[in-house]
Amino acid sequence: MTKYLLAFDTSSNDIVLNIARLSSDGCVGESVAAEIFHAPRAANTQLLTLIDSALSHTGISRNDLAAIAVGTTLGSYTGVRIGIATAKGIAHAREIPLYGLACDPDNLSSQHLLDCFDQARDSQSGNPGAVLPNYTRMSYAEEAEQKQHPQRYAPGLSDSASSNFLSERGDGADTGGQLLLGIETSCDETAVAVMSGTDLLSNVIASQVVFHTRFGGVVPEIASRKHTEAIVATVDEALHQAEVKLADLTGIAVTDKPGLIGALVVGHAYAKGLAWALEIPLYGVNHLEGHLYACVLDEGTDLPSPHIALIVSGGHTMLVYSPRPFEYETLGETLDDAAGEAFDKVAKVLGLGYPGGPILSKLAENGDPHAIDFPRAMLHSKDYAFSLSGLKTAVITYIREAEQSGQPLNIPDIAAAFQQAIIDVQVAKAVRAVQEKNAKHFILAGGVAANKALRAALTEELAAIGVETITSSLKYCGDNAAMIARAAAARLNANSTAANNNYIYPLPLNADASSTGSLATEKSHD
C-alpha cells in the first residue's frame, strides 16, 4: 500500500501544501498534490479545509498518511503556532512521525517543503511533542527583563516547558458510552481532562506560573509558546491517568472563547487536528460556562435553574442570570479591571509576587478589614456593573503616600481592607440580583471564587434570605479542562433528551477561536 507525506507551512500569508509519496525506506518521492493558498491571518480556519479537500481530490485517506511535516521558521508567530499545533494533533492521533521544517522564507514553495523534509528526516526523532517553532526573538517582556537582569539570560540557562503536572486521577468508570477529552488553553494553564459521561477520569494541568511569576503577570507571548511546548505531553499524561487511548475517545471539547487569542488558538488548532485525524466530533465550549460547570464536578448533577451566577477571575467579573439551562443574561460586568486583575496589581505594587490573589487573601486573615476606608465604587448604583480601577488606584496611592512620608505599611491591614472593599460591592449586588430575579440558587465561580472571605460572606448573606450558594471545590476554581469537558457533557446530555437537539453541535473544519465571547450568546444553537 502506498504511503504519503503531508507537508505544510503557515508562516506567511499563504498556506503552502504538498502531499507526496513516500518510499518504503521513508524517502520522499513524487508529489501528488501541491498548492499555495492565499489565506492572510486565516490559517486556523483554512488549513484543515485545504488539507481535507486535497486528500479528497487525490483519493488519499487519512489512513494512508505515514508522516507529517510542518514549517517551524517564524514569519507570523501565531501562524506558525497554528500550523505546528494542527500538525501535532494530526500526527498524535494517527501515531505517525512529525518533523519540523526549517524553511527558507525567501524560497518558500511546495517543492521547498519536500527538500526540507529530506534534511529533517535524518536529524529528528519524529516525536510530535518535540517539534517547536524556531524562535528568532524573545517576547517583549523577556527583552525588557534581559536589559535589567542580563545574568538571567546567561548561556546554558533554559526555560523549557515544565514536565511537572498538577493532576487528579478519577476513580474510573465504564467507558462504553460517551468518552470526552477536554482541552483548555485560554490563558496560562495547559489543561487536559478525560471524562466518561459525567465521571471525571483524569484532570491534568501543566502550570506555567513559574514562567510568569517574575513578570508579575501573564505574558501572552510566553503563554502561547508554553502551550505549544506542553500540549502533547499533557494529553498523554491525561490519557495515561485515565487508562484510555486516543482511539477510545468519542469526542473532544475545547475552549474556543473567550481568552488570550494566542493561547486559545494553540489548544483549538491542536484539538481540530486531533479530532479530524480521529474522525470524531469536536465541540467548542465557552470558558465562562466551563467555570459554572466546575461547581457541579464533584456532584455530577446539573446546574439548578433559575440561578444567579457571579463569575470572578483574573479576566472577568460579572453577574449572570440563567432562567433555564444554557440560557444566560449578563446583568452586569466590570467596566475596567477584573477582580483577579486588581488583586494581582496591588500585590505587585507591594512586592508580594504572582499570582497576587492567594497571597493577599492569606495576609488579610491577620488584618483589620476596617482599618482603612477604601472606596466601594458603584456600591449604590442601580445597575449591576462593577468598577475596580478606582479602588486599585486608591490602594496604590495609599501605599505610595505612606512610603513617601516614611510611615510603616501594615500590609495585612491593607490586604484586608482592600479585599473587604471588593467583597462589600459584590455581596450587595448579588443579594439584590437574586431578590430581583426571585432566584433561589446562587453560583460563585472562577479563580477568585477560591477566596475564603468572599465565599463565606456570600454564603452567609444569601442564606439569610433563603438562597443556596453553590461553589466549586477549591481545586476546580482555577482554569482546568475538567470544567470544559463537563460543560460539553451537559449539553450533549441535553441533546439526547431534547426534542430539538441543538444545545451543542460539532464544529466545522473552518471554525475559529475568539478572544471575546459573552455568555449571553450561549443559548441553544439554532
Give the per-residue pLDDT at 518.
83
CA distance 51 to 39: 13
Q: Name the band, by pLDDT with cuts 50, 70 and 90, for residue 139.
A: low
Give the per-residue pLDDT at 525.
46
Mean pLDDT of 276-304: 95
Give the per-residue pLDDT at 147.
72
Please give the angle made by the CA atoms of 471, 472 and 478, to the nearest 5 degrees.
125
pLDDT of residue 155 exceeding 50, the answer is no
Inter-CA distances, 193 with 63, 132, 414, Å:
26, 23, 38
| Percent over 70 (pLDDT), the chain | 90
Mean pLDDT of 16-29: 94
Lowest average pLDDT, out of 36-40, 85-89, 165-169, 217-221, goes to 165-169
Q: Name the band, by pLDDT with cuts 50, 70 and 90, for residue 160.
A: very low
CA distance 290 to 288: 5
Mean pLDDT of 439-465: 97
pLDDT tens, residue by residue, 30-89: 999 999 999 999 999 999 999 999 999 999 999 999 999 999 997 888 999 999 999 999
pLDDT of residue 172 exceeding 60, the answer is no
For residue 457, the SS3 value is helix
Amino acid making up residue 157: L
Give the per-residue pLDDT at 140.
63
Give the per-residue pLDDT at 170.
67
Give the per-residue pLDDT at 499.
66
pLDDT of residue 168 exceeding 80, the answer is no
Q: Name the band, by pLDDT with cuts 50, 70 and 90, for residue 526.
A: very low
CA distance 495 to 132: 39
pLDDT tens, residue by residue, 368-383: 999 999 999 999 999 9
Backbone phi, psi, residue 485, to 5°: -65, -40
Domains of the chain: 3-130 (3.30.420.40), 172-294+480-521 (3.30.420.40), 299-471 (3.30.420.40)
Q: Name the band, by pLDDT with cuts 50, 70 and 90, for residue 151.
A: low
Sequence-ordered list of residues with C-beta below 8 angstroms from that of 415, at least 6 positions apart, any chain: 360, 361, 363, 364, 367
Mean pLDDT of 15-34: 94
Q: What is the secondary structure of 14-67 as a DSSP string?
A: EEEEEEEEE-TTS-EEEEEEEEEEE-TT-HHHHHHHHHHHHHHHHT--GGGEEE
pTM for the full predicted model: 0.93
Q: What is the secondary structure of 143-197 as a DSSP string?
A: HHHHHH-GGGG-TT---PPP---EEEE------SS-EEEEEE-SSSEEEEEEEET
The cell for 8 is 505544510
The cell for 63 is 489512513
| Residue 474 burial (CB count, 10 A) | 11
Give the per-residue pLDDT at 154.
52
Give the per-residue pLDDT at 452.
97
